[in-house]
Structure 1
Amino acid sequence: MTGMFRRGGADRGGEGLDPYEYAYLAGGGLRVAESAVVSLTERGTLSLGAARLRVIGEERPEHPVERAVIVACPRSKPVREVIEAVRHSSEVDDVARRLVSLGLVRRWGRKPTRAGRRCLAAAASAGQVPAYALHGPAAFVPGSARRGPLAAHPVPDGLGRTLIRMGKALDDDGRGHGTDSGAEGGGFGGGGGGGD
């Protein structure tokens, strides 16, 4: 576990960042909370079943954000409730304050600065950041056993609707609707011959 939270190589003033600080740069407090839940689930500290989390392992995490997750689900609790509680916790605020003090996040609005974006890009290209910290639940392949607890929306918003419309269009195509086959019945016209 100590390897998980060692300070990374992307520095500012000699200080590196941990995976949750990178997660904050990538997606704010929500991404930090999601990342902590995924990390604890992968390590066997949390169990996920029917969109509910339950502490099962004996591990007592060292990182304050992970401890906040454990505190947020003393018994079986819905994943979204745990994530929302951690997202708005003082532990996640501490992550943001540290990034502000390093000049990687703006004080107002708490969005990454140019330096923060460069730091995240450098760490990502060096492979120092877990995929779920960078991309959230979308990092997991749909249908994979390792989708994680947040796979409720593993594909980008709107993609499902687009696929449904495409499927309906193909169905319509198969029944002769919306194709050129209507030209024979007088639907689409090829122009009649004008002769001489």
Structure 2
Amino acid sequence: MARSWGRRTAGDSGGALDLYAYAFLAGGRQRVVESAIVALTEQGVLSMRAARLRATGEIRSGHEVECAVMVSCPRGKRVQDVLDSVARSPSVDDIARRLVGLGLLRGRGKRITRAGRRLLSAAASEGSLPAYVLEGPAVLVRSPVRHGLLSAHPIPDGLGRTLRRMGKALDPDSSTGSTGDGASGGGFGCGGGSGGGD
């Protein structure tokens, strides 16, 4: 019995996937929340201004993920805070468990399986899903919602500094970080000072 539960497919009875299950397959937990935010702003019950979300009405569908988004920002909240809190909510956990049970996601890492990729590809070729579900907020027309969702994911500070250093190291014309003879003019070292103090 336990084996048959693990081998069910989305085509089995009770296995029809909704928009948020497809969003999870396409982009994980974050895509689920982003899709809910877009759907709710399109319904006119959620507004976004200056990267802050605010509930402005009553939701119609009553999907658990949409309810979680609405509950998380009754008086206004930063987009990143909503993304973080709802992505870890029981409603998104339930979607993940269901997809694992259907054999569309694999184990704890929640990596998409071959069956999941086939199902997602079939849904994409049918064209029945909104583009933002499959490809994320970058496909939205320029709007406060697109800007708010995209700006909620800045490059982490440490990564940004690392990428800038790598770019300078690879750029032969860079006047900073190179002395011209291949030696580094700065950076991190184990000893010696790099100049005077303040």
TM-score, length basis structure 2: 0.68
Bigger radius of gyration: 1
In structure 2, give the amino acid aligned to 1:12. G
Question: 1:126 and 2:93 equivalent?
Answer: no
RMSD of the alignment, in Å?
Answer: 3.0
- Answer yes or no: is the 8 Å Cα contact 1:38–1:148 preserved in 2: no
TM-score, length basis structure 1: 0.69
C-alpha displacement at 1:151, in angstroms? 3.3
Q: Which residue of 2 aligns with 1:32?
A: 32
Q: Give me the whole-angstrom Cα distance separating, in 2, the residues matched to 1:148 and 1:133.
A: 16
Q: Give me the whole-angstrom Cα distance separating, in 1, the residues matched to 2:94 and 2:60.
A: 20
Q: Give me the whole-angstrom Cα distance separating, in 1, the residues matched to 2:46 and 2:145.
A: 14
For structure 2, the residue ranges without an aligned partner over 5 or more in a row are 1-8, 154-162, 168-198
C-alpha displacement at 1:108, in angstroms? 2.3
For structure 1, the residue ranges without an aligned partner over 5 or more in a row are 1-9, 155-160, 166-196
SS class of match (1:128): coil
Q: Which residue of 2 aligns with 1:92?
A: 92
Question: 1:114 and 2:137 equivalent?
Answer: no
Q: Which residue of 2 aligns with 1:13?
A: 12
Q: Give me the whole-angstrom Cα distance separating, in 1, the residues matched to 2:68 and 2:95.
A: 13
SS class of match (1:58): coil
Q: Give me the whole-angstrom Cα distance separating, in 2, the residues matched to 1:145 and 1:120.
A: 28
Q: Which residue of 2 aligns with 1:102?
A: 102
Residues 113-137 of structure 1, C-alpha deviations (whole Å, 9 max, x = no match): 0000100000111012211111111
- Answer yes or no: is the 8 Å Cα contact 1:41–1:148 preserved in 2: no
Q: Give me the whole-angstrom Cα distance separating, in 2, the residues matched to 1:33 and 1:148.
A: 15
Q: Which residue of 2 aligns with 1:79?
A: 79
